[in-house]
Structure 1
């Protein structure tokens, strides 16, 4: 009986140790990272050969105001039947430009087909959050294995997710396409080549 009880205690001890070793986070990386989610908002507009009517332009402006369109949002036009005229698309460009944005050339795939004779304006918005933060579930837990707590990094990552202007930058960052690197480094070169005065 004594041997069986010792074996049982040893087995339980090994199982607990195994659980601790598989879930131990002894690095300085936080377990909970920012998660970026994307949502598409659509508005179908009647766009004939004469362009957008005043009523449709007011509809679009009111819709963009309700969405509080701003930096980080992406606006695109979905016109699979090519029924919208260039004048109508130019009117959308002008309205979107009032918000400090440009209309993207490619539109994302949205739910449902665009009805014939209509033009779909798509606003793509991304948001970042850190699910499960803060986590005080192990607040009073004493750890002798030097593991990082589940709440470690929640403050930093949560603040980053709340403050970042364009959450897509957390996924792929900003590209340098179309930028003139020689022009960008002009100020640095002028600073380095500057002669020190007073000598």
Structure 2
């Protein structure tokens, strides 16, 4: 009798163990599914462009009084052409002698590409020996990390959240279309010569001009 009770006691909890294991497995699958669901419950774009900077350097030989000869100017122009200088690139000159002639000579070559020399050159690797100057091109690149994001493939959306890929198209297009990537960081400084300001000048002139019929009519004689 005791032996039967022990066997019954061993048999009794086994269905309970199976049910508990099935419940734990079900909860684990549910939690795993929830982990793959989107969590952004707003219409805010969580995918924003990231701007990175890269410096390209070119060392050239300068003359004792500053500037450089035609050979160096041709080498510099070929380097500019290989880089494909464009709007948004920043040009600077690192000249240990700090001569205006070297800066002016670089500006002559860069003028063909519509660029001017900035004031201060960024810190670059390596020291310049005497009689050398370094031309630095700082270029910004914009990208949207993690886009496109099609990881959330489940149709279940218990949080009423937006898709993981929501906002990727808009941010990627902005990163690709904006010519000066620096505008994604701080925008352009207001100079007053914007389209809105120009249109406002025309509207202001129209409002302030006296109507043509405001003056009294001229007296005309019939004689």
Tell me whether the two structures share a fold, i.e. TM-score over 0.5: yes
1:8-47 alignment, distance < 5 Å: 9=24, 12=27, 16=31, 24-47=39-62
2:113 alignment partner, SS class: coil
Aligned to 2:202: 190
* Candidates 140, 143, 151, aligned match of 1:129: 143
8 Å CA contact 1:74, 1:123 repeated in 2: yes
Q: Is the 8 A contact 2:51 2:182 kept in 1?
A: yes
Partner of 1:104, secondary structure, is: coil
Aligned to 2:182: 168
* Corresponding residue of 2:218: none
Aligned equivalent of 2:88, options 69, 72, 89: 72
CA deviation after TM superposition for structure 1 residue 186, in Å: 5.7
Which portions of structure 1, spanning 4 or more consecutive aligned residues, are displaced by more than 4 angstroms? 1-4, 195-199
- Give the Cα–Cα distance (whole angstroms) in 1 for the partners of residues 154 and 40 of structure 2: 18
- Counterpart Cα distance in 1 of 2:203 and 2:73: 49
Q: CA deviation at 1:86?
A: 2.2
TM-score, normalised to structure 2's length?
0.73
Render the CA deviation track for 1:34-81: whole Å, top value 9, x for unaligned. Answer: 1111000000111112521100000000000000001000000012x2
CA distance 1:180–1:163, change in 2 (3 Å): closer
SS at match of 1:103: coil
Q: Normalised by the size of structure 1, how large is the TM-score?
A: 0.81
Counterpart contact for 1:30–1:150, Cα < 8 Å: no
C-alpha contact 2:66 2:100 (8 A) present in aligned 1: no
RMSD over aligned Cα, in angstroms? 3.3
Rg larger in structure: 2
Structure 1: how far apart are the matches of 2:149 and 2:199? 46
Residues 35-114 of structure 1: matches in 2 within 5 Å? Answer: 35-48=50-63, 49=65, 51-79=67-95, 81-82=96-97, 85-114=99-128
Deviations 1:67-113 (A, max 9, x none): 0001000000012x22x532222110111111111100111111111
1:139 aligned to 2:153? yes
